[in-house]
Amino acid sequence: MKPPPGLRELATVCGRLKFSPHRIQHLLDRSGRYEEKLTDEFPLLVRLFRFQADRFTQGNTWHERLELFLPLDGRCRLRMGPATVNLAPGDLLVVDNLKLHHTLNDPALDTRVVVVSFQPEFVYSLGSPSHDYTFLLPFYARVVSQPNVLRHADALAGPAAGALARLLACYFEGGDTATARAGCKAYLLELLYHLARHFTPHEVMRSEFLQHQERSLRLKRLFDHLAAHYGERISIAQAAALVHLSKPQFSRLFKRVAGMTFVHYVNHVRLAKAAERLRATRQTIAEIAADVGFSDQSYFDRLFKRAFGQSPRDFREAATTDRPLGPVRPAES
């Protein structure tokens, strides 16, 4: 069976482009945080990698930016949190970016991979029309423990691959101009549109979609509040009141949109802030734990080790030395 036109278009465009060996060791810190510089003006990055057995950067990574991952011509497996994701050529994975994830080594591994990264603000930010949030639903509306993958045989795989092909052509061949950047954003939105069409029906019926969208928009206010006041105590009742929902409504909606419970999300934000402070300040571990919202340091230590695979002390030591990176254990769910 011939692949759909979109996948053929993607293969044609990629045939003109150069794929480099997957070497990102220099961009990782000891915790596995994968740092790529994205500008505020154009927070989009496309990387073209070649993954081959024993010839790619191994070990867990995580990052704040959103990411899509598509193997072109070979199978590969990814570990994402506690789950293993099997990908065939042409499958498009919506990466759960805040979970530790990595490509698994395999003697048969040999594939080119397209990786598209962007900041959510490139698509939706405070002041954007509410419907723009739809583009981000595939990243925030998840079935618990089930990765979002658009399989190459799915009905919308062809249209999505066609949009990705046009994005790659514009990004790599359009030049560094305002017109090319506008084109890249247009094709990224087209790609995200097809992903939203594919995944949204798995979460809500079409007749309920607008209500779901409005509630998701309400959560943006809470996310902004937590980003600014992560060290302050906030109960589920207070969070629900902030977004004008009852506690049961809030708990159900938050888990659907964020893919985790509210308490889990708050802890995640606090731990990420703690990791930043461990790298960048001379505060004691007890001071950092208290500042980010943990009154019990032993509890903070346990959660931090569960999330990052090492104690806060070991994390700080590794972040401030030149020791080579080693694999980090996947975080427990």
What angle (nearest 5°) sits at the alpha carbon of residue 33, between those of residues 277 and 182? 110
**Residues 161, 153 contacting (CB under 8 angstroms):** no
pLDDT of residue 328: 34
| pLDDT category of residue 216 using cuts at 50, 70 and 90 | low
> Which whole number is the average pLDDT over 278-294?
92
| H helices present in 204-296, as ranges | 209-228, 236-242, 247-258, 262-280, 285-291
**Residues 60, 99 contacting (CB under 8 angstroms):** no
Q: Would you tell me which CATH number, out of the four given (3.30.230.70, 2.60.120.280, 3.20.20.70, 3.30.1360.120), belongs to the domain 5-203?
A: 2.60.120.280
86-141: pLDDT as tens digits: 999 999 999 987 777 889 999 999 999 999 999 888 887 655 676 787 888 888 76
Domain-by-domain residue ranges, the chain?
5-203, 206-259, 264-319
Three-state DSSP state, 5: helix
pLDDT of residue 330: 34
| pLDDT category of residue 49 using cuts at 50, 70 and 90 | very high
**Residues 219, 254 contacting (CB under 8 angstroms):** yes
**Largest CA-CA distance found in the chain, in angstroms, rounded:** 61
Three-state DSSP state, 91: coil
pLDDT of residue 291: 94
Comparing 5-203 with 264-319, is the CATH topology the same?
no
Q: Note the CATH number of domain 264-319.
A: 1.10.10.60
pLDDT of residue 143: 60
| pLDDT category of residue 144 using cuts at 50, 70 and 90 | low
Give the span between the Cα atoms of 169 and 198, in whole angstroms: 24
Any idea how long the chain is? 333
* pLDDT at residue 202 greater than cutoff 50: no
Q: Supply the pTM of this predicted model.
A: 0.63
